[in-house]
Amino acid sequence: MMGETKPKTRTKTALTGATRKGVETRNRIIKGAREALEQGGMEALTTRRIAASAGVKLATLHYYFDSKESLLLAVLEDLIADMEVTYRQDVALPEAPEDRVEALIRASWRYIQRTRNKQISQTELTLYALRTKGSEWLAARQYNAYIDFYGHLVFVDDRDEDLRRIGRAVARQMLIGIDGIILQSYALQDLSASNDDIEALITAMRGYLRRLLVERDKAR
């Protein structure tokens, strides 16, 4: 396995392989790591397996990613980018914030149902970061990225500081609900119950957003 990293190594990794060929090689390594993670979990995420999947030599892998954590960060960013593209293609978000929240949750649920291994691997990534001394920042980075992703989509224009704060608050609660539904759905394998849970989450999030907006108006 690659050695432990510190956040300062991420800048070096991001700048490595700036040529077209370098970018393509880096992307193949990330894809290989994603495949290993989704198919076998964290235990399968070895340099040899990733290199074999990416079709590169071990030395090449280490040139682009000098640590396991720097590679996992790249995998995380790739997962989020893939999620964003999928969501934007899957749903045209309405103008009204409450309707946008509902549309986001429904799009999330459709995405979750299609990507079981990916969802499990993301959970494993979080647990790995929390359990590994010096890697806690990766878990924080992961969740802040998800919160930013959902928060920015709640409002069409979030340049207002209050709206950004409300968007992030709603995003945090959405993630709490969605994460719980993911695990329960996979554990119980009861699609009908999970669909009911999604409807309950939509109702709760619409009400929560409405309350936050009313409180903002009263404070003005």
Is a pLDDT exceeding 50 seen at residue 196? yes
Which residue shows structure tokens 């920042």?
A: 137
CA distance 19 to 63: 14
Per the prediction, the chain carries an average pLDDT of 86
Segment 105-132 mean pLDDT: 90
Which of the four pLDDT bands, split at 50, 70 and 90, describes residue 12?
A: very low
Domain residue ranges of the chain, discontinuous segments joined by +: 7-77, 87-220
- pLDDT above 70 covers a percentage of the chain that reads 90
- Tens digit of each residue's pLDDT (9 = 90 or more) over 171-185: 999 999 999 999 999
- Tens digit of each residue's pLDDT (9 = 90 or more) over 142-181: 899 899 989 988 987 768 899 999 999 999 999 999 999 9
| DSSP structural state of residue 72 | H
Quote the crossing angle between the two packed helices 97-114 and 68-90, to the nearest 10°.
120
Distances (CA, A) of 11 to 79, 88, 198, 206: 19, 29, 39, 39
| Identity of the amino acid at 213 | L
CA distance 147 to 125: 17
How much is the pTM? 0.80
Sort 196 into a burial class: Cβ within 10 Å, 0-12 / 13-18 / 19+.
Answer: exposed
- Tens digit of each residue's pLDDT (9 = 90 or more) over 40-91: 888 878 888 888 888 899 999 999 998 888 898 898 888 888 887 887 776 6
Compute, in degrees rounded to 10, the torsion defined by CA atoms 188, 190, 193, 199. Answer: 100
Which CATH fold would you assign to the domain 7-77? Arc Repressor Mutant, subunit A (1.10.10)
| DSSP structural state of residue 42 | G
Rg (CA), the chain: 19
Distances (CA, A) of 145 to 52, 150, 155: 29, 9, 17
Q: Determine the pLDDT at residue 90.
A: 67
Sort 110 into a burial class: Cβ within 10 Å, 0-12 / 13-18 / 19+.
Answer: middle
- Tens digit of each residue's pLDDT (9 = 90 or more) over 88-116: 776 678 989 999 999 999 999 999 999 99
Which of the four pLDDT bands, split at 50, 70 and 90, describes residue 13?
A: very low
